[in-house]
Amino acid sequence: MEMTFRWFGEADPIPLSYIRQIPGVTGIVTALYDVAVGEAWSRDALRQLQETVEAEGLHLAVIESVPVHEAIKIGRPDRDRFIESYCESIRAIGEVGIGVLCYNFMPIFDWTRTDLALRLEDGSTALAYDDSQLARIDLSKGTGDLPGWATAYDARTLAMLLEEYRAVDEERLWDNLAHFLDAVIPVAESAGVRMAIHPDDPPWRIFGLPRIITNAEALERFTKLVDSPTNGITFCTGSQ
């Protein structure tokens, strides 16, 4: 079993040279952070990322993540176009020899925290989540002030997305996830890439949006959508 560490690319304040010094760590978890959501990842860009990691004596072990376009999660008529782009990214990931792809199916907002540096009694800091603080966030300004979310939406775009999701309840989100998996899991099997869904974080509705990968029962349901060893789960210790 390989011990890995998350690296957020060249903009990460923790460089690969520091990560290499952590005892036991040989693998890196990262992504192509400059590719727009919905666009296919190129093999050349992945190879360059891989070479950057390997130049520091480390191994690119996991991609986290290739974001799922909102058209897929909402179930828009154009979703299959974005699913095909996703499949092309999977093929590219497999071709360069990366074996695991972590992703999530959370509407609009990825993992969410209200504080990225909560000061603890011993002087260290930690990520934190507080429902009451989340309730005070003004979404009419967009997502720019929301800590933890890598994709920023302006006020108009966010309002349009929230309106579209009014027609998406938990069961429809499950249906859209099943449609996505039916398309991508056979591609991942052929490419030698194991798909690993990240639990919703936090595992309950936020801003009125449905979330479905929330508990043990949901994980059981998920694994039965497509019965394949390639259809896996990310056991994230940071999820609440």
Domain range summary for the chain, segments of one domain joined by +:
3-110+153-233
Which of 150-164, 165-179, 194-208, 212-226 is the least confident region? 150-164
pLDDT in tens, 30-65: 999 999 999 999 999 999 999 999 999 999 999 998
Pairwise pLDDT comparison (13 vs 145), residue with the higher score? 13
Q: How many CB atoms lie within 10 A of CB 156?
A: 9
Confidence grade of residue 1 (pLDDT, cut at 50, 70, 90): confident
Residue 70 DSSP symbol: H
Mean pLDDT taken over the chain: 93
- Position of tokens 């299959």? 80
pLDDT in tens, 170-188: 999 999 999 999 999 999 9
Q: Are strands 3-6 and 125-128 parallel, antiparallel or unpaired?
A: unpaired
The one-letter amino acid at 237: T
Confidence grade of residue 232 (pLDDT, cut at 50, 70, 90): very high
Which CATH class name applies to 3-110+153-233?
alpha beta
CA dist., res. 95 & res. 90, Å (int): 9
pTM value?
0.92
pLDDT in tens, 111-158: 888 888 899 999 999 888 898 988 888 888 887 667 666 677 888 999
pLDDT reading at 237 higher than 90: no
Cis ω for the linkage preceding 228 (within 30 of 0): no
How far, CA to CA in Å, does 185 sit from each of 78, 85, 167, 175, 179? Answer: 20, 14, 27, 15, 10
Q: How many CB atoms lie within 10 A of CB 116?
A: 11
Q: Are strands 115-119 and 125-128 parallel, antiparallel or unpaired?
A: antiparallel
